[in-house]
Amino acid sequence: MLLEIMRNQFSTFLAFATLFAVVAPLSAQQPPAPKPQDTEVWEPVPKIVTPGATDAAPPSDAIVLFDGKNLDQWVLNRDKSPANWIVADGVVTVNKAPGAGNIETKRTFKNYQLHIEWKIPENITGTDQARGNSGVFLASTGPGDAGYELQVLDSYNNKTYVNGQAGSIYKQGIPLVNPNRKPGEWQTYDVVWTAPTFNADGSLKTPAYVTVFFNGVLVQNHFELKGETRYIGKPFYKKYDTAPIKLQAHGDHSEPISFRNIWVRELN
């Protein structure tokens, strides 16, 4: 009887010893408990940018394209001669006279943040697309090319095709909502433009994307463009690297619109 008890005790001891021999190494292999410091990144430190005194004022790293004084940063789109739109009282107004035309920035850009304010005249006439028509071309790839247009138009109480109203990416992106103010009041676009990229053979590598806030309201949410914004026909891409920003002097016969407070931040 005593021998049987001793055998049982020894068997139990062996079982515990074997279990300990298996568990101990597994326990030793467990990683240490995570700490908050494991996910803290300290470098590189983002550079300091001083914001403008108001939401519309340019931040410290912005390139001011129009500050109300002159058009030194702009040229005519067709031949690169000095821009001849009308500057008065801190505002630049489209010049529809013969010999004028679209204007574009002297500098070229790739990816950027853009702020621009525009106003439809209070006494605007016309309907549909002939009511203060203009455009902010986020990349003007050449005088004969369609480019990439963010539409400017009076869409406060003016019916037109929805992919051509204010806040649209022309003929492609319908705005999510319509936050237009009345003619005679200033409107604001805040834009983030991600340019398309291309392979060496000219084929598309990555498409263009755009985010647009219109009077502080999101109307284009990282919208993917299908190519240049063409008036007729399907969009397609043409290879380019950097391009100017263009403002359109549209051929409609309504009163010309005005712009002010234009600045850009390069996002390279």
Summarize pLDDT for 191-234 with one digit per residue, the tens.
999 999 999 999 999 999 999 999 999 999 999 999 999 999 99
Residue 54, in any domain of the structure: no
- 9 and 97 co-located in one domain: no
Beta carbons of 53 and 60 less than 8 angstroms apart? no
The pLDDT of residue 8: 54
- 69 and 197 co-located in one domain: yes
- 13 and 104 co-located in one domain: no
213: domain CATH number is 2.60.120.560
Residue 55, in any domain of the structure: no
Closest CA to 222 of 169, 171, 161, 146: 169
Residue 47, in any domain of the structure: no
- 153 and 253 co-located in one domain: yes
Residue 58, in any domain of the structure: no
The pLDDT of residue 45: 83
Other CB atoms within 10 Å distance of the CB of residue 200: 7
Residue 249, in any domain of the structure: yes
- 98 and 35 co-located in one domain: no
Residue 173, in any domain of the structure: yes
Q: How far apart are CA 27 and CA 205, in angstroms?
A: 50
Residue 57, in any domain of the structure: no
Q: 212: which 2 tokens?
A: 């647009």
Q: Where are the beta strands (DSSP E) in 170-257?
A: 186-194, 197-198, 204-206, 209-214, 217-224, 246-247
Q: How far apart are CA 133 and CA 252, in angstroms?
A: 7
- 79 and 154 co-located in one domain: yes
Indicate the pairing of strand 148-152 with strand 204-206: unpaired
The pLDDT of residue 19: 46
Closest CA to 66 of 87, 49, 96: 87
Task: For the chain, list residues with pLDDT below 70.
Answer: 1-28, 252-253
Q: How far apart are CA 100 and CA 92, in angstroms?
A: 13
Q: How far apart are CA 209 and CA 148, in angstroms?
A: 11
Domains in the chain, number: 2
Q: Which domain holds residue 249?
A: 63-266
The pLDDT of residue 112: 98
Residue type at 53?
A: A
